[in-house]
């Protein structure tokens, strides 16, 4: 038995419990849970550190996929519910745990998709990513879950809501007083 495992696991459980108990604390937390070790003072508690490289095929939309289409307003509303749903992950997190008040986003998020994202390059070796694929890599890496079916209503809903979050992020980025 590796005796270092126990405190590590306890620290991780603590971090997850904290995130779940106080979602508002996520943005106040200086530890970006998925930042590379070099930039992260809390790498030991990093739920993404354990995640091995991601098979790029897992997060690349297959050619010929027919994306689900529906009423945009309804999809956004459902997406907002899913964004806050911890049941989507296997580690007690929701998208909102990390992304509340634009938490964890980098400047790349303000650019139109497809674009380059550091985590995507690091974990999957892909140079650029589309918006629905970005939802999928966050499902697989920080949420420690399976990607959603590509033609599912859930993925369409989360992507529709992500587009709204991106618009708010772009607005905040343009306003230096609102920026973090």
Note the residues at the interface with ligand HEC (CB under 6 A): 32-34, 47, 88, 93, 95, 97-99, 104-106, 108-109, 117-119, 134-135, 138-139, 142-143, 158, 162
CB 41 → ligand HEC: shortest distance, Å?
Answer: 15
**Which residues neighbour 85 within 8 Å (Cβ) at sequence distance 6 or greater?**
94
Q: Which residue's CB is nearer to ligand HEC, number 1 or number 21?
A: 21
Is residue 158 within 8 A of residue 149, CB to CB? The reply is: no
What six digits make up the tokens of 24? 């508002």
CB-nearer residue toward ligand HEC: 85 or 151 = 85
Residues 171 and 86: beta-carbon distance below 8 Å = no
In the bound state with ligand HEC, the residue whose beta carbon lies nearer, of 109 and 150, is: 109
Residue nearest to ligand HEC (CB): 95
Select from 134, 131, 104 the least CA-distant residue to 23. Answer: 104
128 near 115, Cβ under 8 Å?
A: yes
Identify the DSSP state of 111: S
We find the least distance from the C-beta atom of residue 10 to ligand HEC, in angstroms, to be 18
Least separation in angstroms between residue 55's CB and ligand HEC is 18
């Amino acid at each position: 038995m590796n005796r270092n495992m126990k405190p590590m696991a306890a620290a991780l459980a603590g971090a997850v419990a904290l995130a779940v108990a106080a979602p508002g604390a996520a943005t106040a937390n200086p530890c970006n849970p998925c930042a590379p070790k070099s930039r992260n003072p809390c790498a030991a508690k990093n739920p993404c550190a354990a995640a091995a490289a991601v098979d790029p095929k897992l997060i690349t939309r297959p050619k010929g996929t027919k994306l689900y289409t529906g009423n945009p307003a309804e999809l956004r509303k459902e997406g907002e519910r899913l964004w806050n749903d911890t049941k989507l992950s296997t580690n007690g997190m929701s998208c909102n745990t990390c992304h509340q008040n634009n938490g964890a986003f980098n400047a790349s998020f303000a650019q139109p998709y497809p674009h380059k994202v550091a985590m995507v390059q690091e974990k999957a070796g892909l140079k650029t990513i589309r918006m629905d694929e970005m939802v999928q890599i966050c499902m697989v890496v920080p949420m420690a879950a399976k990607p959603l079916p590509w033609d599912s209503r859930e993925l369409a809903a989360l992507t529709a809501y992500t587009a709204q979050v991106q618009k708010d992020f772009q607005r905040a980025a343009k306003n230096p007083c609102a920026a973090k």
